[in-house]
Structure 1
Amino acid sequence: MRTLLFATAVLASFGVAVPAFAQDAPPSDATFTGPRAGVILGYDRLQPGQVPNSDINDSNSADGLTYGGDVGYDIGSGRWVFGVEGEVTGSTSKVTNNPSAAGALGYGRVKAGRDLYGGIRAGYRVAPSTLLYAKGGYTNQRLDLVASNGTTETGRHFNLDGWRAGVGLEQAIGNHAYAKIEYRYSNYGNARLEYPNGANTNNFSVDTDRHQAVVGVGFRF
């Protein structure tokens, strides 16, 4: 909840910073139309979901920074903008508990690895150069695992499948550049364990939440 309130406050302050005169300028579909690419950086929090009858404490978490890049393609139509996007990010979030124990997130000793996202977004221009948008899609998170049998430690990976939803504010800067701020929530409901030899287990059910508040800059071609 604190993360959501923080993200909402930052989004609001970002909107206040938009020049008032921009609201009187004529709208242009080209402002938010075409391919784009950018980089993002922000706060990342992984935590167990609130599963009934679970021994995992959902108040525990792994906090850190998320970083990476995204690409997309948007089409403007009047004040509305519709698009598709993809993202590849990494994270510094980790849990450093005993590798032979389930630990804070229920996975043992883990570090957030790469994250893949693909989805759609729809937005409304609250000013000619300012876009308020919502987004949603599929996300796949890798967790780097260190497991122990009490004698030896081995490295493995969890692959988590889930969905993501978010809201954001994007500000066009000149003819091509833009800056944005965004809050996203992800939930991972399926996981599989990858062994060092490349073999996988069958999917099993999990409940892992992710909260992120990020800023980004990019260029529209």
Structure 2
Amino acid sequence: MKKTAALLVAGSILATAAPAMAQDSDEETFTGFRAEILGGYDVSQAGSSVDDDSAADNDQSIDGLNYGVGLGYDYDAGGVVLGLEGEYTGSTAETEFADGDFEGFGIGNVEAGRDLYVGARVGVKANDDLLVYAKGGYTNMRYNLRSNDGTQDFRADLEADGYRLGAGVEYALSDNTYTKVEYRYSNYGDATIKFEGNAPDVQVGDIDIDRHQVMAGFGLRF
């Protein structure tokens, strides 16, 4: 259901800006390599197939600040912009003990680790300096496993593969600087526990974790 909603949001934004596709422009504002810094709000939560309501006030989620960097390349075809991109981000989100109640979301006591993303985006130019786009691709999330008291780290990570969908707007501040805001939805389904040293990996199998992010970015285009 959440995947369908994300697609509808992206489709609605693109449909609203569709008239701009018919406009020809000599300026290729959104062409070239780019590098950016990112920051925003991040929440991981139990998906529709996970339920750990041991207490009525368990919100089954963790949230925090998301931060990182991204690289990409765009080609401005004159109204339509096609691009490839990748990201490396981290998050401050972690499970907590609230008044003796463990606020988990189905995978134990964890803190969010690094997140890798690679994907593509397609956008339309609302005008010469404003791009409206949708994106999608592959993401690999790491959750650092911790002991039950919430303080001591295990030397193990839960790595999960999934997909990401999103939509956003990018504004060109100048020929080579820009800022952007976007919403992203990720779902993780295949997980593995990885230990340090020679201990073998443990295949957890299919899990269901949803991740929602609202991100802002500032970048340079080369």
Alignment of 1:127 with 2:127, yes or no, is: yes
Indicate conservation of the 8 Å contact 2:61/2:103, yes or no: no
Q: C-alpha root-mean-square deviation of aligned residues, in Å? A: 2.6
Given candidates 32, 43, 46, the residue that maps to 1:45 is: 43
- C-alpha distance in 2, partners of 1:196/1:188? 22
Alignment of 1:56 with 2:52, yes or no, is: yes
Divergent runs of 4+, >6 A: none
- C-alpha distance in 2, partners of 1:180/1:93? 23
Residue in 2 that maps onto 1:215: 216
Residue in 2 that maps onto 1:22: none
Indicate conservation of the 8 Å contact 1:28/1:128, yes or no: no
Give how far 1:153 is off.
6.9
- C-alpha distance in 2, partners of 1:123/1:219? 18
Give how far 1:60 is off.
1.7
Task: Give SS of 2:197's match.
Answer: coil
- C-alpha distance in 2, partners of 1:103/1:156? 21
Task: Give SS of 1:32's match.
Answer: coil
User: AA paired with 2:145?
Assistant: L
- C-alpha distance in 1, partners of 2:167/2:117? 15
- C-alpha distance in 1, partners of 2:189/2:103? 18
Alignment of 1:162 with 2:162, yes or no, is: yes
Alignment of 1:84 with 2:80, yes or no, is: no
- C-alpha distance in 1, partners of 2:102/2:108? 4
Q: Give the % identical residues.
A: 42
User: AA paired with 1:39?
Assistant: I
- C-alpha distance in 2, partners of 1:194/1:97? 25
Residue in 2 that maps onto 1:178: 178
Q: What TM-score results when the alignment is normalised by the length of structure 2?
A: 0.80
User: AA paired with 2:30?
Assistant: F
5 Å-filtered alignment, 1:10-159, equals: 27-51=25-49, 54-57=50-53, 59-97=59-97, 104-147=104-147, 154-159=154-159
Give how far 1:56 is off.
1.9
- C-alpha distance in 2, partners of 1:130/1:141? 31
- C-alpha distance in 1, partners of 2:128/2:195? 51
Q: Deviations over 1:91-150 (max 9, x none)?
A: 00000349xx9861222210000000000000000111000000000000000011359x
Residue in 1 that maps onto 2:206: 205
Indicate conservation of the 8 Å contact 1:29/1:77, yes or no: no
Residue in 1 that maps onto 2:20: none
- C-alpha distance in 2, partners of 1:219/1:41? 16
In structure 1, the gaps of 5 or more residues are 13-24
Call closer, same or farther: CA 1:86–1:203 in 2, change over 3 Å.
same
Indicate conservation of the 8 Å contact 2:59/2:103, yes or no: no
Give how far 1:154 is off.
3.0
Task: Give SS of 2:28's match.
Answer: helix
Report the number of matched residues.
195
Call closer, same or farther: CA 1:28–1:37 in 2, change over 3 Å.
farther
Indicate conservation of the 8 Å contact 1:32/1:75, yes or no: yes
Call closer, same or farther: CA 1:167–1:142 in 2, change over 3 Å.
same
Indicate conservation of the 8 Å contact 1:97/1:108, yes or no: no
Give how far 1:28 is off.
3.7
Call closer, same or farther: CA 1:153–1:111 in 2, change over 3 Å.
closer
